[in-house]
């Protein structure tokens, strides 16, 4: 990854527009994704009881953009312009040229192939445009649907991080998946 280059851009797929999250998106993200903790708990461990609880997270996203090691897109249905989730690539270690992917699709939009479509586009962006060497996903072992998505886009299982994800007072294992850039 060239630190001097601004890679951020909108990405389009057949049915989706992936674009930067703005303040105006907060309400839709809360309504469509973050209003049911039991559903999103494997993605984000903090329960939001109200929209006001959730709003500071969007501010945090904007700060992360400014640091330049964080790509986060809204997942928008082109047909209806509805925000149905979001997806992220973020780096913690540019020296190794690796990043992590994370994503969430709202409960009412699952099992329609949207996650696979978005993940495929972002992996292609990360490997072919940004030229990351490795993209990794950490998925709570109980999150079977997310594991199916990651495996369907060609990421391979590497290991288990035991009891590395905490929700309230329960610890969960995370499965580590990765894909390596073979096109360098």
151 within a domain of the structure (yes/no)? no
Return mean pLDDT, the chain: 88
**CATH number where 30 lies:** 3.40.630.30
Tens digit of each residue's pLDDT (9 = 90 or more) over 142-164:
999 999 999 999 999 999 999 99
Residue 120, helix vs strand vs coil: helix
Q: At 143, list the tokens.
A: 């999150």
Local structure of residue 125 (DSSP, 8 states) = I
- Please check whether residue 128 lies inside any domain of the structure: yes
pLDDT at residue 60, rounded to an integer? 79
CA 155 to chain centre: 15
CA distances from 50 to 21, 46, 107 (A): 19, 12, 18
Beta bridge pairs of residue 135: 99, 179
Confirm whether 57 is domain-assigned.
Answer: yes
Percent of the chain clearing pLDDT 90 (strictly above): 57
pLDDT number for residue 113:
97
How is residue 122 written in tokens?
Answer: 């972002």
CB neighbours (10 Å) of residue 96?
11
Which position has the higher pLDDT, 42 or 26?
Answer: 26
**Beta-carbon contacts of residue 6 (< 8 Å; ≥ 6 apart):** none
- Residue reference for tokens 């330049």: 68
- The answer to whether 123 and 157 have CB atoms below 8 angstroms apart is no
How many domains does the chain contain in total? 1
- Going by pLDDT thresholds of 50, 70 and 90, the confidence category of residue 2 is low
* Residue span of the structural domain in which 109 resides: 11-135
The pLDDT tens digits for 60-98 are: 777 777 776 678 899 999 999 999 999 999 886 677 889
Q: Does 9 have pLDDT greater than 80?
A: yes
d(CA 124, CA 132): 10
Q: What is the largest CA-CA distance in the chain?
A: 46
Question: Is 167 inside any structural domain?
Answer: no
Of 136, 142, 138, nearest to 170 (Cα)?
Answer: 142
């Amino acid at each position: 990854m060239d630190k001097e280059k601004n890679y951020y851009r909108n990405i389009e797929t057949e049915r989706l527009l992936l674009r930067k999250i703005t303040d105006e998106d907060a309400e839709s993200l809360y309504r469509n994704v973050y209003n049911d903790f039991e559903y999103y708990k494997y993605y984000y461990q903090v329960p939001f009881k109200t929209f006001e609880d959730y709003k500071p997270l969007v501010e945090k996203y904007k700060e992360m953009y400014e640091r330049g090691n964080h790509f986060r897109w809204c997942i928008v249905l082109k047909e209806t312009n509805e925000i149905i989730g979001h997806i992220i690539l973020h780096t913690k270690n540019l020296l190794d040229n690796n990043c992590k992917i994370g994503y969430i699709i709202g409960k009412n939009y699952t099992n329609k192939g949207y996650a696979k479509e978005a993940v495929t586009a972002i992996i292609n962006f990360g490997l072919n445009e940004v030229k990351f060497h490795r993209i990794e996903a950490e998925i709570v072992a109980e999150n079977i649907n997310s594991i199916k998505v990651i495996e369907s886009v060609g990421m391979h299982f590497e290991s288990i991080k035991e009891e590395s994800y905490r929700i309230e007072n329960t610890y969960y294992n995370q499965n580590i998946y990765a894909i390596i850039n073979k096109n360098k």
